[in-house]
Amino acid sequence: MRSQKKHSEKILVTDSVHSLLLEGLKEKGYTCDYRPAVRLPEVQAIIKDYVGLVVNSKIRVDKEFLDSAEQLKFIARLGSGMEIIDLDEAENRGVKVFRSPEGNCNAVAEHAVGMLLALANNLTKGDREVREKTWKREDNRGFEIMGKTLAVIGYGHTGSAFVQKMTSFGVRILVYDKYKTGFANPAKGIEETDMQTIFDEADILSLHIPYNEETHGLVEGEYIAKFRKPFVLINTSRGAIVNTQDMISALLLGNISGACLDVFENEKPNSFTEDEAAMYWQLYEMDKTVLSPHVAGWTHESKRKMAEFLLKKILTNFCPAVKSLS
């Protein structure tokens, strides 16, 4: 039986993770401190003892945090969003940063397709009415996706996974990625395009971009006004990419014909200000919306896959003999 080298290096896991990540790290001799309920102040007080940190979204790794992380060699992000980590500061300190968009991109793509189908066919409204013994067939007449023009902004792991699924719906697919080119596939109806073409021709707009200074509040009043016709908005990226009040105004005016939202500017209802409460209540009352609580990438399968990808990346970088996982 092959023995594993034992050492005292410790890894702090601050959120729920599939057990295979913990087991894989322990097998290589790491000590894993699994504390999914831990809060930021406590993490900052103890991080000096750890070489590795596994986070999801509640732990913000900024310069002040890194000042306390004397031994830190890597940060592993469950998921894809990197806005919680100061990447420049981590790089300056030689701290490697890993993420796992490969693990949940399919889940997000499936969720986006499901939300679009639910909106197009009034499924949430119809379901609610049937349960209340209300039978309104004409009021719930939907629209077909076939023949529409779908615009996708962002062609990374999630955007490309969503596009791949939508190629079977008989739609024209326009894709814009500011930092990527050469991905057009005419045989599948995938066109590489510019934003003006999207403004002119889109019936459906799906966002698959990271949240940062460049994308903060991207979809706001002036942006929405550039669209030549009403469009369905799908956002499974980050809530703060969309100005909520401007989106609501556009929904009321008919400039946005429907919205599928898995993410929101404020995802903590208990913290709503009076104005936010009124704004979100207005959104919640709209039948032209399908809403979910930031769960698009949160499937049983994605939990395992994110752990698998992170484990491989950590071990490949810090245990060079590891090339793949069985």
Q: Backbone dihedral region of 157: left (phi > 0), alpha (psi from -120 to 50 degrees) or beta?
A: alpha
Distance CA 72, CA 58 (A): 18
Beta strands in the chain (DSSP E): 10-13, 31-34, 52-55, 74-77, 96-99, 149-153, 172-176, 190-192, 204-207, 231-235, 256-261, 289-291
Measured CA distances, 9 to 23, 85, 241, 324 (Å): 15, 22, 39, 22
Find the catalytic residue in 238, 265, 285, 304.
Answer: 238
pLDDT at 228: 98
pLDDT at 7: 52
The stretch 154-160 carries a mean pLDDT of 97
pLDDT at 4: 47
Establish whether 201 is a catalytic residue: no
Residue 303, pLDDT > 80, answer: yes
Domain with 238 in it: 105-291
Q: Could you give the 3-state DSSP secondary structure of residue 213?
A: coil
Is residue 1 assigned to a domain?
no
Least confident among 106-115, 173-182, 311-320? 311-320
Order of strands across the sheet with 190-192? 190-192, 172-176, 149-153, 204-207, 231-235, 256-261, 289-291
The stretch 273-289 carries a mean pLDDT of 97
Residue 3, pLDDT > 60, answer: no
Residue 56, pLDDT > 60, answer: yes
Residue 325, pLDDT > 80, answer: no
Confidence band, pLDDT 50/70/90 cuts, at residue 64: very high
pLDDT at 81: 87
Find the catalytic residue in 23, 91, 144, 267.
Answer: 267
DSSP state of 136: -
**Do 115 and 155 share a domain, yes or no?**
yes
**Tell me, what CATH number does 154's domain have?**
3.40.50.720
**Do 139 and 226 share a domain, yes or no?**
yes
List the structure tokens of 30.
Answer: 């790491």
Q: By C-alpha distance, which of 96, 106, 100, 91 is closest to 15? A: 100
**Do 189 and 95 share a domain, yes or no?**
no
Give how many domains the chain has, as a whole number: 2
Find the catalytic residue in 294, 300, 304, 308.
Answer: 294
Residue 324, pLDDT > 50, answer: no
**Do 74 and 145 share a domain, yes or no?**
no
Establish whether 191 is a catalytic residue: no
The stretch 58-85 carries a mean pLDDT of 93
The stretch 315-323 carries a mean pLDDT of 68
pLDDT at 57: 84
Type of residue found at 175: V
Q: 10 Å Cβ neighbour count for 157?
A: 20
Is residue 285 assigned to a domain?
yes
Q: By C-alpha distance, which of 239, 175, 247 is closest to 210? A: 239
CA 102 vs. chain centroid, Å, equals 12
**Whole-model pTM?**
0.92
Residue 184, pLDDT > 90, answer: yes
97 strand-pairing partners: 75
**Do 66 and 134 share a domain, yes or no?**
no
pLDDT at 110: 98
Establish whether 128 is a catalytic residue: no
Concatenate the DSSP letters of all residues of 222-260 into one string. Answer: HHHHT-SS-EEEEE-S-GGGB-HHHHHHHHHHTSEEEEE
The stretch 103-124 carries a mean pLDDT of 98
Q: What does the mean pLDDT of the chain come to? A: 94
**Do 86 and 113 share a domain, yes or no?**
no
Confidence band, pLDDT 50/70/90 cuts, at residue 301: very high
Residue 316, pLDDT > 70, answer: yes
